[in-house]
Structure 1
Amino acid sequence: MARSPPRAGAGQSGIPADPRWRVDRVDHGEPAVLSLLAASVARVAAADAARVAVRSGPAEVTYGQLAELLSRAPAEDGVRAGPVVLPVTGAVADVTALLTHAVAARPVLVLDGAATAWERDRASALFDPPGPAVGLCTSGTTGLPTVVTADWPGLLANAREFAVAARVGDGDVVWCGTPLHHRYCFAAGLFGGLSVGATVVLTPGLGPADFVERLLTDRVTVLMSVPYLYSWYVEQLEREPDLPGRWSLRRCIAAGSPLAPDLAARWLRRAGLPLLSHYGSTEDGQITVGRGEPGEGVGRPLADREIRVGADGEVLVRRRGVHDGSGDAWRRTGDTGHVDAVDNLHLIGRLTERLNIAGRKVDPVEVEDVLIRHPAVADCVVAAAPGKVGDEVVAFVVIAGAATDTELRSYLAGLLSAYKLPRQVVRVPEVPRSRTGKVRRGALVAALLGAARGATPAQPASGNTPPPSC
Structure 2
Amino acid sequence: MQTRIHHAMNGAATAQPDALAMIDFADQAYSWADLAAASAEARAVLQDRGVGPGDRVVLVFENSLEACAFLFAISQLDAIAVPLNARLTHAELDRLITHSDPSVVVFCHAASEAAVTHGKAYSARSERGRYGAVGLFQRRGNRPEPCSDDPNEQVALLLYTSGSTGAPKAAMLTHQNLISAAEATVKVRGMLSEDVTFLALPLSHIFGLVTFLSICGSMGKVRLEARFSVERLFAALQRDVTMLPAVPQMHALLFHYARGQNKTSYEGGCLRFVSSGGAPLDHVWKREAEAFYGLPLQNGYGLTEGAAGVCSTQNQLGDPDVSVGYPMQGSRLQLDFDAIGANPAEGIGEILVAGPQVMKGYFRDPEQSARVLTKDGFVRTGDLGVFDAQQRLHIVGRSKELIFRSGRNVYPAEVEAALTDHPEVIMAGVVGRPATGNEEVLAFVKVAPNCRLCEEDLAAFVHDRLAPYKRPTRIILAQKLPVAPTGKILKAKLISSFTDQLLREVTV
Residue 212 (structure 1) shift: 2.2
What is residue 170 of structure 2 aligned with on the other side? 147
Whether contact under 8 Å (1:126, 1:147) holds in the other structure is: no
Residue 135 (structure 1) shift: 1.4
Q: Does 1:208 align with 2:230?
A: yes
1:286-301 mapped onto 2 (5 Å cutoff): 286-293=309-316, 294=319, 295=321, 297-301=323-327
Whether contact under 8 Å (2:234, 2:258) holds in the other structure is: no
Distance 1:121 1:397, change over 3 A: closer
What is residue 250 of structure 2 aligned with on the other side? 229
What is residue 365 of structure 1 aligned with on the other side? 413
Q: Does 1:265 align with 2:292?
A: no
Amino acid at match of 1:150: L
Aligned mate of 1:90, from 42, 57, 63: 63
Amino acid at match of 2:179: L
What is residue 203 of structure 2 aligned with on the other side? 180
Residue 193 (structure 1) shift: 0.8
Deviations for 1:308-328, whole angstroms, at most 9, x for unmatched residues? Answer: 222131111011598979621
Distance 1:358 1:151, change over 3 A: same
Whether contact under 8 Å (1:277, 1:299) holds in the other structure is: yes
Whether contact under 8 Å (2:54, 2:146) holds in the other structure is: no
Distance 1:143 1:305, change over 3 A: farther
1:329-368 mapped onto 2 (5 Å cutoff): 329-357=377-405, 360-368=408-416
Partner SS for 1:125? helix
1:39-438 mapped onto 2 (5 Å cutoff): 40-56=8-24, 57-66=26-35, 80-127=53-100, 129-131=145-147, 132-140=155-163, 145-187=168-210, 189-217=211-239, 219-238=240-259, 239-241=261-263, 244-285=266-307, 286-293=309-316, 294=319, 295=321, 297-311=323-337, 312=342, 313-320=349-356, 327-357=375-405, 360-371=408-419, 380-396=428-444, 405=456, 408=459, 412=463, 417-422=467-472, 424-430=473-479, 432-434=481-483, 435-438=485-488
Moved more, 267-276 or 363-372: 363-372
Whether contact under 8 Å (1:59, 1:92) holds in the other structure is: no
Residue 44 (structure 1) shift: 3.7
Whether contact under 8 Å (1:385, 1:393) holds in the other structure is: yes
Distance 1:299 1:347, change over 3 A: same
**2: CA distance between counterparts of 1:397 and 1:130?**
46
Whether contact under 8 Å (1:193, 1:200) holds in the other structure is: yes
Deviations for 1:136-159, whole angstroms, at most 9, x for unmatched residues? Answer: 223217587532221122212211
Amino acid at match of 1:205: R
Distance 1:148 1:212, change over 3 A: same
Distance 1:213 1:80, change over 3 A: same
Whether contact under 8 Å (2:171, 2:359) holds in the other structure is: no
Residue 415 (structure 1) shift: 6.2
Distance 1:192 1:394, change over 3 A: same
Whether contact under 8 Å (2:178, 2:357) holds in the other structure is: no
TM-score (norm 2): 0.71
Partner SS for 1:428? strand
What is residue 127 of structure 2 aligned with on the other side? none
**2: CA distance between counterparts of 1:331 and 1:84?**
26
Q: CA RMSD in A?
A: 3.8
**1: CA distance between counterparts of 2:60 and 2:398?**
30
Residue 448 (structure 1) shift: 5.5
Distance 1:333 1:114, change over 3 A: same
Q: Which runs of 5+ in 2 are unaligned?
A: 102-144, 148-154, 343-348, 361-372
Partner SS for 1:190? helix
Whether contact under 8 Å (1:367, 1:382) holds in the other structure is: yes
Whether contact under 8 Å (1:158, 1:304) holds in the other structure is: no
What is residue 12 of structure 1 aligned with on the other side? none
What is residue 468 of structure 1 aligned with on the other side? none
Q: Which runs of 5+ in 1 are unaligned?
A: 1-32, 458-470
Deviations for 1:44-84, whole angstroms, at most 9, x for unmatched residues? Answer: 44442201223313434322345567899998x99645211
Partner SS for 2:187? helix
Whether contact under 8 Å (1:220, 1:247) holds in the other structure is: no
Residue 202 (structure 1) shift: 0.9
Partner SS for 1:210? helix
Whether contact under 8 Å (1:383, 1:441) holds in the other structure is: yes
What is residue 118 of structure 2 aligned with on the other side? none
Aligned pair count reads: 421
**2: CA distance between counterparts of 1:144 and 1:382?**
25
**2: CA distance between counterparts of 1:309 and 1:118?**
38
Residue 387 (structure 1) shift: 3.2
Q: Percent identity?
A: 24
Partner SS for 1:197? coil
Whether contact under 8 Å (2:171, 2:305) holds in the other structure is: yes
Deviations for 1:273-328, whole angstroms, at most 9, x for unmatched residues? Answer: 12211211111122112213421511221112111222131111011598979621
Whether contact under 8 Å (2:445, 2:477) holds in the other structure is: yes
Residue 205 (structure 1) shift: 0.7
Residue 125 (structure 1) shift: 3.1
**2: CA distance between counterparts of 1:406 and 1:203?**
36
Residue 124 (structure 1) shift: 2.7
Amino acid at match of 1:87: V
Deviations for 1:308-353, whole angstroms, at most 9, x for unmatched residues? Answer: 2221311110115989796211111111112234442211111111
Whether contact under 8 Å (1:166, 1:289) holds in the other structure is: no
Larger fraction in helix: 2
Distance 1:433 1:276, change over 3 A: farther
Residue 249 (structure 1) shift: 1.1
Distance 1:386 1:223, change over 3 A: same
